[in-house]
Structure 1
Amino acid sequence: MKKTYFNWSSGKDSALALYKILQDADYNVDLLVTTVNKDFNRVSMHGLRNELLFKQAESIGINLKTIEFPADVTMSLYSEIMKEAMDSLVEKEYSHTIFGDIFLEDLKAYRETKLAEVNIKGVYPLWKRDTKEILQEFLDLGFKAITVCVNAKLLGEEFVGRVIDEQFIKDLPENVDVCGENGEFHTFVFDGPIFKNPIDFTVGEKTLRSYTLHDNDDDNCYQAKKEDASHDTSFWYCDLT
């Protein structure tokens, strides 16, 4: 079996990808890896409190490693921190890593370039599948998720803090991917077949936040473009406690 770590975002695509890879006898996934904002103790991009991330890992039953970044991080610092983290994983003899990516070619190419530097192989269980089929399978398997962050340019406040279900899918605008693969929305998975028990939480306040990109950092703009939906910098967040 290949010694493997999983890039865990805390969201739905990660959950389905993990579900699938755990059924593949070729991979031994014994570690979840998540990037977090160390200044606010929240999952990067998703804005999820670390406490709920830790509860997910506990319920899944797989050890969790967090990679910490400051709130204001340039791509050069991002790359430095990530390289150190990946080097430590190589030292522990990890040879493969799993992502929940679906169709962003440039993002996959970026990941593959960075992985090649440390001789780790990327695996993508959901790659090139139809996103409508992916979300339907997610729901059919009994997974449950709630939106914790939405792109304010594409979705209104009413879409954040909302459970993913058939009505949610119907209400999405036509220009929004149903899996939010372009960064339109991010989710927190709180129940499903990979969990020993559901994650308890309370829905808190909604907040609109805006961010400033580093104009002179091309790589950082690239990262924002791929993960934040084409340089959009305002997002609605729903705080879960």
Structure 2
Amino acid sequence: MKKAFFNWSSGKDSAFALYRILQSKEYDITKLLTNVNEEYQRISMHGLREELLNKQVEAIGLPSEKLYFPAQVTMETYNQKMRETLASFKSEGLDYAVFGDIFLEDLKKYRDQKLAEVGLKGVYPLWKRDTKELLREFLSLGFKTITVCVNAKLLGKEFVGRIVDEDFIKELPENIDPCGENGEFHTFCFDGPIFKNPVKFEIGEKVLKSYTLNEDDDDQSCHTDTSEDIKTYDTSFWYCDLISG
């Protein structure tokens, strides 16, 4: 089997892509890699507590590795740290990196370019699938997921902290991708066929957070991670804090 690591965001697209890659039996997933904000001990962009991430990967049963970043990080620093990590993985005998991306061409190009620099190749199990069909198949398999972050420019407070189901899909505005592939919303997957047991949690407070882009960051924000776009221009988000149950 081909040795690979999986770029794990804790959300539904990661969960479904991992399910697909495990079902294929073509790749040996040696570890899950997640970017974590070292100041707040939360997953970058998603805002999920590191404690819940730990319980989630424990329920999946795969080794986990975390890459810690400061709350504010330039793309130069981000790229350097990622390159060092990828080079380390390559030295361990890994040849492939798996992602849950669906249709963002620029992001895929960026990923493949950075991977090629250290001799790795990208694998995209969900690539070019219709996102509405993808989400419905995800739900039909028994996966369960909840929104933990929504772009306040596009969605209101009522969309954060919600279980993703048929009602959620129907209520999304027409300009919103059903999988949130353009960064409209982010999720935490807590149950499904890749889990040995559901991850228990309680819903905490919902807060609106705004961020400021610095001129010296060249319009590239610290919210970049292995599962999102290279640039984040929207700066206001609703977060729902999930507390380990």
Matched, 1:233 2:235: yes
Per the normalisation by structure 1, the TM-score is: 0.96
Q: Provide the secondary structure at the position in 2 that maps to 1:178.
A: coil
**Alpha-carbon distance, 1:90 to partner:** 1.1
Matched, 1:113 2:113: yes
Name the counterpart of 1:158.
158
Paired amino acid for 1:104: L
Spell out the pairing of 1:121-160 with structure 2 (5 A cutoff).
Answer: 121-160=121-160
Answer yes or no: is the 8 Å Cα contact 1:190–1:200 preserved in 2: yes
Q: Deviations over 1:162-210 (max 9, x none)?
A: 0000000011000100000000000000000000000000000001001
Matched, 1:9 2:6: no
Q: RMSD of the TM alignment (CA)?
A: 1.6
Distance 1:121 1:52, change over 3 A: same
Matched, 1:95 2:91: no
Matched, 1:43 2:43: yes
Spell out the pairing of 1:164-203 with structure 2 (5 A cutoff).
Answer: 164-203=164-203
**Alpha-carbon distance, 1:221 to partner:** 5.5
**Alpha-carbon distance, 1:230 to partner:** 5.7
**Alpha-carbon distance, 1:37 to partner:** 0.3
Separation of aligned partners in 1, 2:230 and 2:83? 22
Distance 1:203 1:228, change over 3 A: farther
Q: Provide the secondary structure at the position in 1 that maps to 2:216.
A: coil
Percent identity reads 64
Paired amino acid for 1:237: Y
Q: Which 4+ runs in 1 deviate beyond 4 A? A: 221-224
Distance 1:120 1:229, change over 3 A: closer
**Alpha-carbon distance, 1:80 to partner:** 1.4
**Alpha-carbon distance, 1:71 to partner:** 0.2
Name the counterpart of 2:32.
32
Answer yes or no: is the 8 Å Cα contact 1:75–1:219 preserved in 2: no
Unaligned 5+ segments in structure 1 are none
**Alpha-carbon distance, 1:218 to partner:** 3.3
Q: Provide the secondary structure at the position in 2 that maps to 1:202.
A: strand
Paired amino acid for 1:236: W
Distance 1:223 1:145, change over 3 A: closer
Distance 1:191 1:42, change over 3 A: same
Distance 1:126 1:176, change over 3 A: same
Paired amino acid for 1:240: L
Answer yes or no: is the 8 Å Cα contact 1:5–1:30 preserved in 2: yes
Unaligned 5+ segments in structure 2 are none
Q: Provide the secondary structure at the position in 1 that maps to 2:134.
A: helix
